[in-house]
């Protein structure tokens, strides 16, 4: 109980733009506004063909609703500040980095290689230093999954430097 109060107090002492409430409010409002503006660029159905509402009307309504509700939660947070979340640890950022690596490698080099690199990277950074287990999660297991999906579902994975060796 005391801990929660301390956390709340700690959050209260921060300038408003550092508080989680504001950050969440800002991000939602920012993206909702951009999306709302983009709905004005949607094509319109000519009146003669239009049945009911225009295609942009429904998403517009939803975005206005999201902006309105977000404003309410921000207003309510003045009365009841959110508890301050713990700082994110290093492995979290490394895992996010591995996702970025995955996207780059799968786009430029190879899908299978991307899975392997991510698996080894994540496993290593989460504390696994034994080579056998790194090879297990990075090569053996993805290979089994790859072959399993390919054989059972007849799936064809996107071409790449390693995948091509398998297919040709």
Partner 1 sequence: MFSSKLLMVLIFGTLFGLILGVLPGLGPTTGGALILPFTMTLDPLSAIVLLTSIYCAGTYGGAITAVLINTPGTPAAAATCLDGYPLAQKGEAGRALGMATVSSTVGGIFSVIVLVFFAPVLAQLAYEFGQPEYFALAIFGLTMLASIGEGSPIKNLIAGAFGILISTIGKDFMTSIDRFTYGINELSVGIGFIPVVVGLFAISEMLTQSTLLDQVFKRVALKAVKLPSLDDYKKTWKTILRSSGIGSFIGVLPAEGGTVASLIGYSEAKRFSKEPEEFGKGSIEGIAGAEAANNAATGGAMVPTLALGIPGSATTAVILTGLIIHGVRPGPDLFREQPEFLYGIFGAMLIANVLFFIFGFFGAKLFARITLVPNKILWPMIFAVSVCGTYSLSQSIIDVWIMLFFGVLGFFMRRFGFSVVPVIIGLILGELVEGTLRQSLVIFDGNWLMFLTRPIALTFFILSLIALAFPLIRSKKQKN
Give the residues lining the site for partner 1 (CB under 8 A).
Answer: 20, 24, 28, 35, 38-39, 42-43, 45, 49, 51-53, 55-56, 58-59, 62-63, 65-66, 69-70, 72-73, 76, 82, 85-86, 88-89, 91-92, 94-96, 99, 102-103, 106-107, 111, 115, 118-120, 122-123, 126-128, 133, 136-138, 141-142, 145-146, 149, 152-153, 155-158
Q: Smaller CB distance to partner 1: residue 1 or 49?
A: 49
Q: Smaller CB distance to partner 1: residue 130 or 168?
A: 130
φ/ψ of residue 5, rounded to 5:
-65, -40
Q: Smaller CB distance to partner 1: residue 27 or 165?
A: 27
**Pick from 85, 62, 110, 100: which is nearest to 10 by CA?**
85
CA 112 to chain CA centroid, nearest Å: 21
The CB-of-106 to partner 1 minimum distance in angstroms stands at 6
Token digits for 75? 């207003």
Q: Smaller CB distance to partner 1: residue 51 or 168?
A: 51
CA 2 to chain CA centroid, nearest Å: 33
- Residue in the structure block whose two tokens are 């969440």: 24
**What Å distances lie between residue 70 and 6, 8, 12, 81, 152, CA to CA?**
26, 20, 20, 15, 46
The CB-of-142 to partner 1 minimum distance in angstroms stands at 5
């Amino acid at each position: 109980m005391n801990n929660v109060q301390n956390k709340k107090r700690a959050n209260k002492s921060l300038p408003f733009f550092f508080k989680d409430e504001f950050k969440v409010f800002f991000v939602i409002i920012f993206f909702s506004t951009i999306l709302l503006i983009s709905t004005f660029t949607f094509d319109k159905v000519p009146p003669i063909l239009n049945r009911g509402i225009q295609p942009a009307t429904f998403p517009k309504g939803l975005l206005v609703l999201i902006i309105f509700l977000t404003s309410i939660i921000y207003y309510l947070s003045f009365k009841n500040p959110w508890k301050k979340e713990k700082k994110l640890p290093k492995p979290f950022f490394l895992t996010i980095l591995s996702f970025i690596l995955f996207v780059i490698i799968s786009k430029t080099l190879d899908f299978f290689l991307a899975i392997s690199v991510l698996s080894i990277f994540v496993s290593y950074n989460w504390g696994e230093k034994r080579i056998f287990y790194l090879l297990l999660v990075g090569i053996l297991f993805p290979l089994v999954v790859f072959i399993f999906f390919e054989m059972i579902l007849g799936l064809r994975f996107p071409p790449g430097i390693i995948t091509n060796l398998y297919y040709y």
